[in-house]
Amino acid sequence: MKDRERIVVSGILGVLLLGWLGFFVHRSPRFPGSGVGATFAIAGAALMLVPLVYTVAKRIPRLHMPITKRVSMQSLLALHTYTGILGSLLALIHTGHKFDSVLGIALTATMLLLVVSGFAVRYLLTYVNREITDKLALLQTARGDLDSAWGVLERSPVAVRGLPKARLLAVGAASVGIELPFAGPAGEIIRTAEGVADLEYAVKTHELFKRWFARSLKLHIVLSVVFYVLLAVHIGSGVYFGLRWLR
């Protein structure tokens, strides 16, 4: 279910990120203020308010129990994800690629960054954590194999003499695909050490990604605050100027 959810959300995210590029080939200045454009705006704004339920349930202890008795946090998170990204898509359609005001540009840019940071926290961080766990398990096994290979080598003086003198150079050459002519225990040491080095490098790389994606959560929270403030100003200005026009 989670894999299907990730595929669906990734597809919508791709459409969303490519959709704003339509500004270069299409602009409809009258669409945002039309009846259809206003319908998209209202629907998008309504959907983007739904994610606040998950935030309230998670951040306010007094409301956590009453809400989670009816709906689980996992269901709220899925609702948070779907309504947020669908609301953003409807809001982008509402713009009609009319990016003339500073407020509209700031609101659209914040919305896109909010969606991307949320995707990073929801899916990429989870994927990286799983990869680190799997790689650490493989690394532990590979280190055990390396220790066993060294034990066999130490009990065979003839095999010790078969080891290359420049061991780091030999392992480095093997890591880039250059096969060296070492057989027996010596060759096993080289191949196992190569595997250990690759896994250690992969773990360090994934840990770097984990730190960056973990920062996305803080960025997501900050962007959420900025986005809802801008959204309130945008709705308020639309209502104010709309009522003035009716007068």
The per-residue DSSP string of 195-244 comes to: HHHHHHHHHHHHHHHHHHHHHHHHHHHHHHHHHHHHHHHHHHHHHHHHHH
Least confident segment among 26-35, 51-60, 96-105, 185-194: 185-194
Type of residue numbered 128: V
pLDDT 10s digits, 79-109: 999 999 999 999 988 888 777 788 888 998 9
Dig out the tokens for 107 from the structure.
Answer: 């609101």
Whole-angstrom Cα distance, residue 196 to residue 146?
8
Are 114 and 17 within 8 A, CB to CB?
no
This prediction's pTM: 0.70
SS3 assignment, position 45 = helix
pLDDT 10s digits, 20-36: 777 767 778 788 878 88
Q: CA nearest 189: which of 222, 163, 215? A: 163
pLDDT (0 to 100) of residue 128 = 86
Report the mean per-residue pLDDT for the chain.
79
Instruction: Compute the average pLDDT of residues 202-228.
Output: 87
Are 153 and 159 within 8 A, CB to CB?
yes
* Structural domain spans, the chain: 2-124+216-246, 133-204
Type of residue numbered 69: K
